[in-house]
A = this chain, B = another copy of it.
Amino acid sequence: MTSATPNIRLYVEHDLGTDREFLIDGNQGHYLINVMRMKEGEVVALFNGRDGEWMARLEKVGKGKALVRVLGHLEDQAEEPDLWYLFAPVKKARLDYMVEKATELGVSLIRPVMTRRTIVDRVKEERLRANAIEAAEQCGRLTVPEIEEPVKLDKLLAGWPDDRLIMFCDEAGGEGAQDIKPVGEAVAQAGQSSGLTKWAILIGPEGGFSPEERQMIRSHPQTVAVTLGPRILRADTAAVAAISLWQSFAGDWQ
């Protein structure tokens, strides 16, 4: 980042272009004015997932709100890896954490999956979306991942799109698993043999999937089972590991 890049990045819904003006209020206004104590004339960076990143100036500042005017363009909107992150929700704190990490790591969509051993049944999508926005603002990405509503595992698999592969990481992967490969190998081979480029990463709950669920996932034609090494990983460790590996072999870490 050059010294001209503003310290604060905000995600907004507004269209972005030179001289566009709009009000920033609510939580974001409170953050800018009350928490960060920004003053008239100072600048922020804005992005909306469509128009890239723009610099904007605080034209007028009030109690917990600011009128901003877009000055100029900082970064183009660019193609980002198409990677879904599907996970079985665990305790609330971990849920926030999972969404934050997945966003930092560049996934394009996040969706909770309900399994037999899922510990948390009620997922507040608004909260997850707020987590995703904050993580996106802080990590420098130009989009916010979509947050999809929770879905039951069987329904997810029954309606699975035929242009997307599923990287399946299950902690019981070692058991009698002849076709389980390391991530790099699995991604390269499956990509080649299927001709598909879109992926999803499916991480099981703490305690793993049930045998029936594992069978259901493993028998799906687009499932690619992978190993994340010889030790048992917690679900949140597995998530960060799997996404990082995918980014290194098939995403934007190459």
Tell me how many chains of this kind the complex includes.
2
A222 CA to B229 CA in the complex, in Å?
27
Q: Is the interface of A mostly helix, strand, loop or mixed?
A: loop
With a CB–CB cut-off of 8 A, which chain B residues contact A126? none
- Contact A182 B105, beta carbon cutoff 8 Å: no
Known A233-B104, A234-B104; judge A228-B244 contact (CB<8 A): yes
Contact with B along A74-92 (1 / 0, CB 8 A): 0000000000000000000
A23-31, A117-125, A212-220, A246-254 - interface stretch: A246-254
Q: How far is the CB of A96 from chain B (nearest CB, A)?
A: 13
A106 interfacial by beta-carbon distance below 8 Å: yes
Contact with B along A51-86 (1 / 0, CB 8 A): 000000000000000000000000000000000000
Q: How far is the CB of A152 from chain B (nearest CB, A)?
A: 28
With a CB–CB cut-off of 8 A, which chain B residues contact A252? 229-230
A237 interfacial by beta-carbon distance below 8 Å: yes
With a CB–CB cut-off of 8 A, which chain B residues contact A254? 182
- Contact B139 A231, beta carbon cutoff 8 Å: yes
A158 interfacial by beta-carbon distance below 8 Å: no
- Contact B230 A140, beta carbon cutoff 8 Å: yes
With a CB–CB cut-off of 8 A, which chain B residues contact A106? 229-231
Task: Point out the residue from B139, B184, B240, B248 that lies within 8 Å of A240, measured CB to CB.
Answer: B240
Q: How far is the CB of A139 from chain B (nearest CB, A)?
A: 4
- Contact B240 A253, beta carbon cutoff 8 Å: no
A35 interfacial by beta-carbon distance below 8 Å: no
- Contact A229 B247, beta carbon cutoff 8 Å: yes
- Name the CB-closest residue of B to A2: B175
- Contact A232 B138, beta carbon cutoff 8 Å: yes
A248 CA to B248 CA in the complex, in Å?
10
Complex A-B: 26 CB contacts under 8 Å: A1-B175, A101-B237, A104-B232, A104-B233, A104-B234, A105-B229, A105-B231, A105-B237, A106-B229, A138-B232, A139-B233, A140-B230, A140-B232, A141-B231, A183-B248, A184-B248, A228-B244, A229-B247, A229-B251, A229-B253, A230-B252, A230-B253, A240-B240, A240-B244, A241-B244, A245-B245
